[in-house]
Amino acid sequence: MKLAALYSGGKDSTFAISCAQDLGHRVACLITMHPIADDSALFHYPNSWVTEYLADAMQIPLMGFQASGRSKEDEMKALEEAIVQVKSLYEIDGIVYGGISSNYQKQAFEQVCVRQRIAAVAPLWNSEPERYVTELVKRGFRIIIAGVSTMGLDKGWLGRELDKEAIDKLMSVSKKCGFNLTFEGGEAETLVIDCPLYCKRLQINAATTYWDGQRGIFEIRDVALVEKK
């Protein structure tokens, strides 16, 4: 099928594109929704502007849209309006997204797709968390933590790369504190700075860490695409 990917630059939306291609689908376009609220239930908030660079790295066209409302209904309306535009321009058969276990997101996205008569493809659905995050690293995905908002993840995680050592630590903390290892509940946000899909890697030139004592964001100020080593 010819698909548009709901794309945040995070690990799940990026890996979903890879899986969709492995399944024989063609990802014709990326859709990035830019929410106004950092607690959006449907969309990724931190550093969403960076997707323009990552789209260039994947050599896939990207369309960005503002999600100006805060309610689920407002965000669904913004998404549907975005899909209508993309469907008209690219004649897509469906969307692919990185949902793993969130029925809230799944139902919202599927409702929009049903109304637009297109398919909703979720290749990561029901992935086993520990196996999944380990597989990402094995496949050459370089992932950093861009935001945290759960007990057990402190300021030290912001900007940290999820290498094997970090994942082992994360597994231990998630078991102790009871949060979802995949961050599907919004416990943390991620950004993929390099992976097999990219023809160049993302270099972060400047960033600022914000921490309020319980939650924080690794806000990227300046980036560049550079040749892979």
| Whole-angstrom distance, CA of residue 158 vs CA of residue 165 | 15
The residues near 88 (Cβ < 8 Å, ≥ 6 apart) are: none
Query: Does residue 204 share a domain with residue 149?
Result: yes
User: What is the reported pLDDT for 25?
Assistant: 98
Query: Does residue 197 share a domain with residue 168?
Result: yes
Instruction: Return mean pLDDT, the chain.
Output: 92
Query: Does residue 210 share a domain with residue 144?
Result: yes
User: What is the reported pLDDT for 67?
Assistant: 80
Query: Does residue 168 share a domain with residue 110?
Result: no
Query: Does residue 169 share a domain with residue 78?
Result: no
Residue pair 79/118 in contact (Cβ under 8 Å)? The answer is no
Triad 76, 78, 82: Cα angle to 5°? 115
pLDDT tens readout for residues 71-108: 778 888 989 999 999 999 999 999 999 999 888 888 98
CB-based burial label for 112 (10 Å; 0-12, 13-18, 19+) = buried
Taking alpha carbons only, the member of 110, 34, 101, 32 closest to residue 67 is 34
Looking at 87, 121, 155, the residue that finishes a domain is: 121
| Whole-angstrom distance, CA of residue 96 vs CA of residue 25 | 10
Query: Does residue 212 share a domain with residue 142?
Result: yes
Structure tokens at 171: 């597994």
Structure tokens at 189: 């946000």
| Whole-angstrom distance, CA of residue 205 vs CA of residue 22 | 32
The residues near 148 (Cβ < 8 Å, ≥ 6 apart) are: 154, 157, 158, 187, 188, 189, 215, 216
Query: Does residue 156 share a domain with residue 90?
Result: no
User: Which whole number is the average pLDDT over 198-219?
Assistant: 95
User: Which whole number is the average pLDDT over 42-50?
Assistant: 78
Query: Does residue 23 share a domain with residue 107?
Result: yes
**What CATH number should be reported for the domain holding residue 168?**
3.90.1490.10
Looking at 69, 91, 121, the residue that finishes a domain is: 121
Task: List the domain range (segments joined by +) for residue 8.
Answer: 2-121
Looking at 121, 150, 174, the residue that finishes a domain is: 121
Q: Compute CA distances 193 → 28, 34, 126, 209, whole Å.
A: 21, 19, 25, 17
Q: Compute CA distances 100 → 86, 132, 160, whole Å.
A: 24, 10, 23
| pTM for the whole structure | 0.94
pLDDT tens readout for residues 146-197: 999 999 999 999 999 999 999 999 999 999 999 989 998 889 999 999 999 9
Residue pair 129/147 in contact (Cβ under 8 Å)? The answer is no
**What CATH number should be reported for the domain holding residue 75?**
3.40.50.620
| Whole-angstrom distance, CA of residue 30 vs CA of residue 6 | 6
User: Which whole number is the average pLDDT over 30-50?
Assistant: 78
Task: Please list the residues that pair with 201 across neighbouring strands.
Answer: 226
pLDDT tens readout for residues 216-227: 999 999 999 999
Examine the pLDDT at 12 and tell me if it is beyond 90: yes
